[in-house]
Amino acid sequence: MQIKECIVSAPGKAILHGEHAVVHGKVALAVSLNLRTYLRLQATSTSKVCINLPNINTFLSWDVTALKQLLPDSGAELGNVNELDAELVRMLRNFVGVSNGTLDTRSMAILAFLYIYLCVFAQSGELPSLTVSVWSELPTGAGLGSSAAYSVCLAAAMLCASGTIPSPLSDQENTARWGEVEMELINRWAFQGERIIHGNPSGVDNAVGTWGGILRYRSGKTTALSRVPMLRILLTNTKVPRSTKVLVAGVKDKMNKFPSIINPVLESVDAVSCTCEQTLTEMASDTPTPEHYNVLEELIDINQHHLNVIGVGHPSLDTLCRVTLARGLHSKLTGAGGGGCGITLLRPGTVACSVVQNTIQDLRDCGYDCWETRIGAAGVQQHSPLAVKEEVLEVLARY
């Protein structure tokens, strides 16, 4: 089978409000980041399928003939794009030697890769020999949606290499995006990848990785927010490791144990997201005022308290909030919490530059990574090698 080589990328995300609540049908507001995951897919004649994941120090390969044993004899459909094929996941666990219930999310990255590879290529008729290398500018397992950016890249590359979707690149363009129909398909396969890595994802992260921009997300419905003011956001990585899968399961346990206490908290998070959206819309239609920023800051504080109540806070995040508040800035965790990253809202113009610089220094003194980010980056893209930064191309070409 002649497959099409490709390089694709997808952005990470920050959730402004609604993490965890969104898993239970509430609204989330999320933005794409200017940090991306890159994937290169190469055709080979080695009769092997190889995966190189330098961010998580994982390099593996399998014989195509061994992978063919996993295909059903009957020619029955393998892995449907709308639901996870639990039997295939079970077989893959046995195949790679991962026990059910493992917390090793690195193994989950392998399972997600093999799952999407088998399903997409089985549908197109043949399992090809290939090498996939992935490199990300995102910290992995830190709340910035690295698992979704990874899953979106896997889905886009495999759908494109198999010819299921066309390449959007043309002679004039070295970077291009797919149309709505193709992006919908990429997003659905990426969601299956997220299911393998996260257990019970809401789908918000893969939606941002696919569409990019600033999104409102609720129960599978994505709306792009076109009227949003320029927001300045500081990102801080506490570097405390955590697993989204474990944190999401912990919230579910708390809901089961104290439904009458936790459900109203999730309702209140929903109201925070809706009030934030309303405020952002007002700010975009009028000139943003200090009062608008007061509201955004109060919403951040309220949500951070709610996230502590549902059990996804961490002392490192308490420190982040305290250190930034000492400089008059408001912060909350972003993503699954339990460590990982937080966001801090900066007031444009009204905040003297020295305040931002001093805050960044204070946070670095705590041992955290801290940087100002640009939001609203493009969603999944295909690139010709000419359009990829030299250092990224160099890492991808190393394997």
Ligand X SMILES: Nc1ncnc2c1ncn2[C@@H]1O[C@H](COP(=O)(O)OP(=O)(O)O)[C@@H](O)[C@H]1O
Number of residues that bind ligand PMV (CB under 6 A): 17
Give yes or no for a contact between 109 and 58, defined as CB atoms under 8 angstroms apart.
yes
Name the H helices within 136-258: 146-161, 180-198, 204-211, 244-257
- Confirm or reject binding of residue 147 to ligand PMV (CB under 6 A): yes
Give yes or no for a contact between 53 and 59, defined as CB atoms under 8 angstroms apart.
yes
| Category of 370 on φ-ψ map: left (φ > 0), alpha (ψ -120 to 50) or beta | beta
134, β-bridge pairs: 39
- Lay out the site mask for ligand X across 142-181 (x = CB under 6 A, - = otherwise): xxxxxx--x-------------------------------
Residue 154 or 255 with smaller CB distance to ligand X:
154
Identify the sign of the CA torsion 364, 366, 369, 374.
Answer: negative
- Lay out the site mask for Mg ion across 223-252 (x = CB under 5 A, - = otherwise): ---------------------x--------
- Confirm or reject binding of residue 182 to ligand PMV (CB under 6 A): no
Residue 199 or 311 with smaller CB distance to Mg ion:
199
The dihedrals phi and psi of 36, each to the nearest 5 degrees, come to: -125, 160
Residue whose C-alpha is closest to residue 254's, from 181, 308, 205 = 308
Residue 201 interacts with, from ligand X, ligand PMV, Mg ion, none (CB under 5-8 Å by kind)? ligand PMV
- Confirm or reject binding of residue 306 to ligand PMV (CB under 6 A): no
User: Is 147 considered catalytic here?
Assistant: yes
Residue whose C-alpha is closest to residue 381's, from 210, 234, 141, 237 = 210
Q: How far is the CB of 144 from ligand X (least distance, A)?
A: 6
User: Is 205 considered catalytic here?
Assistant: yes
Residue 380 CA from chain centroid, whole number: 12
SS3 379: coil
Residue 116 or 336 with smaller CB distance to ligand PMV:
336
Q: How far is the CB of 196 from Mg ion (least distance, A)?
A: 11
- Confirm or reject binding of residue 109 to ligand X (CB under 6 A): yes
Residue 224 or 249 with smaller CB distance to ligand X:
249
Element (H, E) at 275: helix 259-285
- Confirm or reject binding of residue 316 to Mg ion (CB under 5 A): no
**Tokens 């346990």 correspond to what residue?**
253
Which of 9, 32, 133, 205 is an active site residue?
A: 205
Residue nearest to ligand PMV (CB): 335
Q: Single out the residue of 79, 128, 193, 201 in contact with ligand PMV (rule: CB under 6 A).
A: 201
Segment interacting with ligand X, rule: CB under 6 A, options 50-58, 118-126, 357-365, 391-399? 50-58
Number of residues that bind ligand X (CB under 6 A): 24
For residue 72, the tally of other CB atoms under 10 A from its CB is 12
Identify the sign of the CA torsion 345, 348, 354, 355.
Answer: negative
SS3 390: helix
- Confirm or reject binding of residue 24 to ligand PMV (CB under 6 A): no
Q: How far is the CB of 362 from ligand X (least distance, A)?
A: 24
Q: How far is the CB of 288 from ligand X (least distance, A)?
A: 30
Give yes or no for a contact between 223 and 29, defined as CB atoms under 8 angstroms apart.
no
Give me the amino acid identity at 57.
Answer: N
Q: Single out the residue of 6, 22, 53, 138 in contact with ligand PMV (rule: CB under 6 A).
A: 22
Residue 248, token pair as written in the block: 């999401």
Q: Single out the residue of 79, 145, 213, 288 in contact with ligand PMV (rule: CB under 6 A).
A: 145
As a whole number of angstroms, the distance between CA 160 and CA 7 comes to: 10
Element (H, E) at 199: none
- Confirm or reject binding of residue 106 to ligand X (CB under 6 A): yes
Give the alpha-carbon dihedral of 238, 293, 230, 317, to 10 degrees.
10
Residues that bind ligand X (CB under 6 A): 37, 53, 55-56, 105-106, 108-109, 134, 136, 140-147, 150, 197-198, 243-244, 335
Catalytic machinery residues: 147, 205
Residues that bind ligand PMV (CB under 6 A): 19-20, 22-23, 143-145, 147, 198, 201-202, 204-205, 244, 248, 335-336
